[in-house]
Homo-oligomer: A and B are copies of this chain.
Amino acid sequence: MKSIQSLVLIGSGNVASLMAEAFKDVGLDIWGVYSKTTENAKILAEKINVNVFKSVAEIPTDADAYLLAVNESALPVLIKELEIIEGILMHTSGSVGLDVFPENVSRSAVFYPLQTFSKSRQIDFSTVPILIESKDNQILEELMVLGAKISNNVKIADSVQRKQLHLAAVFACNFSNFMFHIAEELLKENNLDFELLKPLIIETTAKLNEISPLEAQTGPAIRNNKKILNKHLKMLENHPEYQNIYRLISDQIKKLKSV
A161 at interface, CB cutoff 8 A: yes
A225 to B168, CA, bound (A): 17
A111 to chain B, nearest CB (A): 16
Q: Mark A78-96, 1 if CB is under 8 A from B, else 0.
A: 0000000000000000010
Copies held by the complex: 2
Residue contact A177 to B201, C-beta cutoff 8 Å: no
A154 to chain B, nearest CB (A): 12
A148 at interface, CB cutoff 8 A: no
Known contacts A180-B176, A228-B95; decide if A199 and B115 are in contact (CB<8 Å).
yes
A82 to chain B, nearest CB (A): 21
Contacts A170-B220, A175-B249 known; list 4 others, CB within 8 Å: A128-B199, A164-B235, A167-B236, A178-B217
- CB-defined contacts of A155 to chain B, threshold 8 Å: 196
A57 at interface, CB cutoff 8 A: no
Cβ-closest chain B residue relative to A163: B235
Residue contact A169 to B183, C-beta cutoff 8 Å: yes
A190 at interface, CB cutoff 8 A: yes
- CB-defined contacts of A245 to chain B, threshold 8 Å: 175, 245, 248-249, 252
A174 to B250, CA, bound (A): 9
A: residues with CB less than 8 A from B are: 14, 71-73, 95, 114-118, 120-121, 123, 127-129, 153, 155, 160-161, 163-165, 167-184, 186-187, 190, 192, 194, 196-205, 207-223, 225, 227-228, 231-232, 235-236, 241-242, 244-246, 248-249, 252-253, 256
Cβ-closest chain B residue relative to A170: B219
- CB-defined contacts of A121 to chain B, threshold 8 Å: 207, 210-211
A240 to chain B, nearest CB (A): 11
Residue contact B177 to A129, C-beta cutoff 8 Å: no
Residue in B165, B172, B197 whose CB lies within 8 Å of A172: B197
Task: List the 10 shortest-distance A-B pairs measured between CB atoms, nearest first.
Answer: A174-B219, A176-B176, A181-B213, A172-B183, A180-B213, A168-B183, A176-B179, A171-B183, A164-B190, A127-B199
- CB-defined contacts of A256 to chain B, threshold 8 Å: 181
Of A72, A171, A241, A249, chain B has the most CB atoms within 10 Å of the CB of A171
